[in-house]
Amino acid sequence: MTKLRYYEKLKGIGSKGAVATAHSEFLRTGQISRRRDDWLPEERRYLTYEEVAERTGRQLALAAETSHERINAFHRDIRFPKIVFHRVLKNSPHLGYCHVTASRTTFAKHPDVNWSFYIANFAAEIGDDELFFETIEPQRTRMYFAVAITPDKTNKRVQIDRSVRENGVLFVTRDPNKAIKNILKLGAPTAAMRAAIDRM
């Protein structure tokens, strides 16, 4: 895979179109302009992967916190803990995903399912343990998904619970409204409340 290069977007460049018309100003007046705007823009400053990852992380954390506030503002009986963290992809630090919240619910035939809700700034297929994201589409804006989780006692980490459905994925959507609806249904304490959320 080709190594990507990132550069900082300079503010104000190209807004006045001064560079393209500097020569015509000289022909019109016979004077050389001393204004900085009329000269060539400064050279691009390339960013390190760490700088790009830091900027991506800030955007992801903001998206997670905003989503958590919206979910918890729906109804006083539906509350989720705020568990916000993010990860960026190793060789593409402009792409990443963030964890928003986690909880426990009854899902289909499974009486007690622990799950986590994530937002990614790309679209992809959810893969297996070795390759969590497959067929990444960075041109797509966002992907919202929830996965069933279970503790892995050997590594002292959590892992996807693949006994729930075949891949452990409770839902995947690119629509933020559908994502919020699905999360609210997972957190709704009664069947009547789930039906009311469905009617929204």
Q: Tell me: the pLDDT tens digits for 155-188? A: 778 888 888 887 888 899 999 999 999 999 888 8
Domain ranges of the chain: 6-46, 48-198
Residue 91: per-residue pLDDT: 84
The predicted pLDDT at position 31 comes to: 67
pTM comes to: 0.76
Query: What's the confidence (pLDDT) of residue 24?
Result: 64
Residue 4 has pLDDT above 90, yes or no: no
pLDDT in tens, 116-160: 999 999 888 877 665 678 788 877 678 999 998 888 878 778 888
Q: How far apart are CA 61 and CA 114, in angstroms?
A: 22
pLDDT tens per residue, range 37-84: 655 556 667 888 899 999 999 999 999 999 999 999 988 888 999 999
> For position 38, what pLDDT does the model report?
55
- Separation between Cα atoms, residue 44 and residue 64, nearest integer Å: 31
Query: Please, are residues 136 and 85 in contact by the beta-carbon 8 Å criterion?
Result: no
- pLDDT tens figures, 80-99: 999 999 999 888 899 999 99
Write the Ramachandran bin of 189: left for phi over 0, alpha for psi from -120 to 50, otherwise beta. Answer: alpha
Cα angle value 139/140/142 (rounded, 5°): 135
